[in-house]
Structure 1
């Protein structure tokens, strides 16, 4: 599989260092669509605060990807749902820590989650 980032230099605002405008996926044999994943522990309890929930979210995403024989390097698209716009900076920092140098198209949306204790929910698409 080959990932080809697309960041046009003209006609659109510049991409920042933590994402790309578009990702072309060539030669992928599989696609994995991961449901919105919350910062819940293995018993279903939410983390105590934003930082703990972000850690749990990324641990949960890694476990889900591993069950399909994938890693975060297989992620080709990511959407974050934030309960409060003030969570944007911490969410971006957690994402870049989880992905390292791997940049993908991302969107962050401020939304009311189904449970007020869920501060962030993240869904990803992975290819392999």
Structure 2
């Protein structure tokens, strides 16, 4: 018998409604596997200077790791995005919405210095199956 994995949003009514297509928490039941995706910067080939391109590359790297484990976007339960500048918040949200569609994992966005000066972001994630 194959376990049924349920990934459910947890949004207590005592907290403000989330406005950026995320959930305050994620309840996972029936999972047999967890995948922890290390921080994925926009590496792999020539590094573009614009945020949109770097963001799509970083998400592509996250999806490549998930794909190698036989998982997809629908398996994401937690995403952490590290941004090098506040100016990229809107673009980050827009591109994340394109990538995730209707899926709403738990989410944290941190504004910080990024490991390499030329990287504008880094994304790490946790997925369950």
> If the TM-score is normalised by the length of the shorter chain, which range does it land in?
over 0.9
Q: CA deviation at 1:55?
A: 1.1
Residue of structure 1 equivalent to 2:37: 34
Residue of structure 2 equivalent to 1:59: 60
CA distance in 2, matches of 1:8, 1:78: 19
Whether contact under 8 Å (2:80, 2:108) holds in the other structure is yes
CA distance in 2, matches of 1:60, 1:116: 19
* SS of structure 1 residue aligned to 2:17: coil
Q: CA deviation at 1:46?
A: 2.4
CA distance in 1, matches of 2:40, 2:47: 11
Residue of structure 1 equivalent to 2:103: 102
Residue of structure 1 equivalent to 2:18: 15
| 1:58-93 deviation digits (Å, cap 9, x = unpaired) | 111111111000011111000000000111111111
* SS of structure 2 residue aligned to 1:78: strand
1:110-121 superposed matches below 5 A: 110-121=111-122
Q: What stretches of structure 2 of length at least 5 have no aligned partner? A: none
TM-score normalised over the length of structure 2? 0.92
Pairing 1:4–2:8 present: yes
Q: What stretches of structure 1 of length at least 5 have no aligned partner? A: none
Q: What value does the CA root-mean-square deviation take over the aligned residues?
A: 1.1
| 1:4-27 deviation digits (Å, cap 9, x = unpaired) | 2111112x2222251110010000
Aligned residues: 125
Q: CA deviation at 1:47?
A: 2.5
Structure 1 residue runs of 4 or more that deviate by more than 6 Å after TM superposition:
none
